[in-house]
Amino acid sequence: WKTILSGETWTNETVERHKDGSLYTVLQTITPIPDENGEITHFVSIHEDITARKQTDERIRYMAEYDALTDLPNRALFYDRLHQAMVRVKRNQGRLTLLYLDLDRFKAVNDNLGHHAGDLLLQAVAQRLKECVRESDTVARLGGDEFSIILQESGSPRDVALVAEKIISALAAPFHLAGLDVSIGTSIGIALYAGGPEADPDQLVHLADGAMYIAKKRGGNVIEFAPG
């Protein structure tokens, strides 16, 4: 009202409601019409239904940030969230933990049962991982059978180890795929971060990834903390 009563055109998106109760988004433009004395006497309002366009934009944004198979954040969104989490840790003098996971025996499932079974397995793994952490944490699929988890405001190394062991137990339980019970495992590398000025997301991922490879060399289904 402040805009249009001053004689200027107002444009913005608003959410409206259909008679059936469903919501839709409109691009609304209101133009004031003055009389011969310059006094505003009427308004012309134009509503453009942009619901379909908004939905398309949201879908494009979702596809750019989330893994199409598992609906988990993809590598790009993961790095964005990791960067933001590290900034918060520096500002608040907190702590976060990065877990880097690689599935054990996933290749055997793919080779013996086919890619469809492998896809079903990745989806089931994603669901179990989400059930092992809090909503405030981030579970991401980085590609292939590699996942990463950002634990916000994590506790002591012992607390972190308990979470990692919970994940190992969850993924060690058989998966039911196409009428078969499939057993896998996971190797987990862990990097702790408490706000050091020298670290960045790439370095933290490198530390967790390196620890994961050590866990893999130890035979898998174990956790390994990165040095430092």
Three-state SS at 14: strand
| pLDDT at residue number 198 | 66
DSSP letter assigned to residue 136: T
* 199 contacts 206 by C-beta, under 8 angstroms: no
Q: Does residue 200 carry a catalytic annotation?
A: no
CB of 139 closer than 8 Å to CB of 149 = yes
Active-site entry in 102, 104, 145, 209: 145
Q: Which pLDDT score, from 0 to 100, does residue 197 have? A: 66
The string of DSSP letters for 187-224 reads EEEEEEES--TT--HHHHHHHHHHHHHHHHHTTSS-EE
pLDDT of residue 199: 75
Helix (H) or strand (E) holding 129: helix 115-132
This prediction has a pTM of 0.77
In this prediction, the residues of the chain whose per-residue pLDDT falls under 70 are 197-198
- Rounded Cα distance between 139 and 136, Å, is 10
